[in-house]
Structure 1
C-alpha cells in the first residue's frame, strides 16, 4: 500500500513565489532606470554617413557603458550620460579654437563651457559633435574611442596651422 498523500503545498513553493516576486520587482526597477537618453536629432542626422557612424559606435567609451537614445544619428554613454554624440551637425568653418588629430580624424575643442567640453569634427560633412562631462571622463580618451567610428565619414579637409597657410603676396 502507498502512504497517504498530503494536500499541503510543498515548502519550496512559497520561496519560489517570493523569489519570482523579487525578480519581477528588480526587473521593473532596472527597466525604469534605463530610459533612453533624450536628444534632438541634428539637422542632417538622416545622412547615410551618419548611419555608417552609428553602426560602428563602440559598446563602451572611456569606461562608460553605451545607453539607448531616442533620436537618429545619436549615441550616449554613462549613467547618467557623460558622453553625448550627435551626427549631422553643421560643419564648422575656419576657427581659432584648438584642433587635434586622433587616428586621422580632426576635432575642434570648445572649452567655453568647462568642465563640459564640445568636440566637433573638422573637415567632414556631415560633422559629428561630442559633448563630454570632463568631471567624469577625459575628453581625449572619448575622442580616441570614437574616432574609428567617425572615420566612416570621408575627410574633405582638415585643420591647418598658421605656418601651413600660403604666404600673402
Structure 2
C-alpha cells in the first residue's frame, strides 16, 4: 500500500522545498550585502586607543545590531543606523553643557539638534563622539552599552560640579 498523497503534484512540492532551501541559503548572503554605513573618519581615528575601542564595540547597542562602516575608528548600529560612533575627535575643552558619568566614563551631552543627541567623552584623549537618534533609541541606553568599550581610553580628567570647585563664593 502506498502512502497517502497530499493532492499536490510531486513537482510542486519539490519546487517549494527548493525555493525554501534557496531562501535559507541566500538570506545570510543578502544580509552581508547590506551597504556599509558611510563615515568620514575623525582626525585622530588612527590613534592606537581608537583601535582598542573598536575591538571592544558590542554586537548590539540599545537592542540594535552592529553594522559595517566605511571608516576606521567608527561603529554603527541599527538599520537605518540610529547610533553612530566616531573615535578620534578633538577632545572638548571646558563647557557649560551638561556632563554625566555613565559606568566611569564622563560624557558631555549636546541636545541642540534634538531629537538627535550628540554625546562626547570628556577627559579622554582621543575623544569619542556618539550620535543617537532619540526617536529610535534611548541615548542613555546607548552610551551605557558603549561605555565599556570607550573605557579602553584612559581618563585624564572628567566632569566637575560647582561644589567640586571648593571654596568659591559669589564674593570671589
TM-score of the superposed pair, with normalisation by structure 1: 0.84
- What residue in structure 1 maps to residue 119 of structure 2? 119
Q: Deviations over 1:116-147 (max 9, x none)?
A: 00000000000000000000000000011000
Alpha-carbon offset, residue 14 of structure 1: 6.4
Q: Deviations over 1:38-87 (max 9, x none)?
A: 00000000000000000000000000000010100000000000000000
Alpha-carbon spacing, 1:69–1:165, altered in 2? closer, same or farther (3 Å): same
Q: Deviations over 1:98-118 (max 9, x none)?
A: 000011100000000000000
Alpha-carbon spacing, 1:100–1:48, altered in 2? closer, same or farther (3 Å): same
Distance in 2 (CA, whole Å) between partners of 1:108 and 1:136 is 20
- What residue in structure 1 maps to residue 57 of structure 2? 57
Q: Which runs of 5+ in 2 are unaligned?
A: 1-9
Q: Which runs of 5+ in 1 are unaligned?
A: 1-9
Flag as ranges the 4+ runs of structure 1 deviating above 3 A.
Answer: 10-14, 16-32
- What residue in structure 1 maps to residue 162 of structure 2? 162
Return 159-168 or 61-70, whichever deviates more: 159-168
Number of residue pairs the alignment of both structures matches? 159
Alpha-carbon offset, residue 30 of structure 1: 3.8
- What residue in structure 2 maps to residue 42 of structure 1? 42
Note the aligned Cα RMSD (angstroms). 2.3
Match runs of 1:53-92 below 5 Å: 53-92=53-92
